Amino acid sequence: MKNILKHFLLFVFTALVISCNTDESISNLEQNERANLLKYRTLFKSDKPDGSIVLQSNATGTGMNTHNRITMSRKGDDKNKKLEIRNHNRSLIGFKNHEHNESLSNLFGEVVTLKFSENGTKNPIDSLYIPEQIIVDYSSNLLEAGTTINWNADAQNTNGVVITISYDPLLQMNFIVGWENQFRINESFALDEGNGSYTVTQQNLDRFPQDAEISIKLTRGAYSITENEPIFIAFSMVSNNLKVKK
């Protein structure tokens, strides 16, 4: 049974669907998870204040055999509001918006410092731990009950991991599967870091068609938010395509 996070991180790009349960204790846990997922989905989709910075690592593949793109971007160019990111040596991190920069990988698994200034007035320095880049392996090329998903657990990450499974009828190699199941399906759920392992259950797959080609993503990260000021978000995500077997 999946663990429910007390403090949860990451952004979920897809719609959330969680079934109801008549047991009050289970229902409360599901409501807490739903609230966390919706909070961070809203965070990543909502309009961010000018000056906000996002560090992201997007990868495909398994284990160390991944193709990775790492970028950092800043919203807007308000000279009166400035957010600085410095590494553990307090060196200022420079970047070009949306440009892949492999050296940014050094920020994952490290504590960065954040300093915000407005009209020349500097706020106190804040610090933030960015979890290690997530690396994922699967026990099978099929997604079925009993398939084990493994990732490199980060004991310092208190924000947990999000797993998102998505089905798109337009991306099916099997025409019949796409024709008979014409609506997109998305499932997202949150896990504690634990030992870096999760075993897929039949319940996770109930809504997905047999033999469907699905996309599965694992994401984790961290964020620093101050009301009405630029925010900083950092995350890593690994995506893969598997076939559903039921």
User: Which residues, in sequence order, are bridge partners of residue 85?
Assistant: 114
Q: pLDDT at position 75, please? A: 84
Residues 101, 108: Cα–Cα separation, whole Å: 13
Whole-angstrom distance, CA of residue 58 vs CA of residue 82: 26
Domain 24-48+132-244 has CATH 2.60.40.10: yes
Domain boundaries, the chain: 24-48+132-244, 63-130
The pLDDT > 90 percentage for the chain reads: 50
pTM of the model as a whole: 0.80
Q: Cα separations (Å) of 56 from 44, 97, 141, 207, 223?
A: 12, 12, 26, 30, 12
Instruction: Give the tokens for residue 216.
Output: 């599965």
Residue 203 DSSP class: H
pLDDT tens readout for residues 147-203:
999 999 999 998 889 899 999 999 999 999 999 999 999 998 888 888 999 999 999
Average pLDDT rounded to a whole number, residues 224-241:
85
Which pLDDT does position 20 carry in this prediction? 27
pLDDT tens string 2-46: 333 333 333 333 223 222 222 333 345 455 555 555 555 555 555
Residues paired with residue 164 on neighbouring β-strands, in sequence order: 188, 217
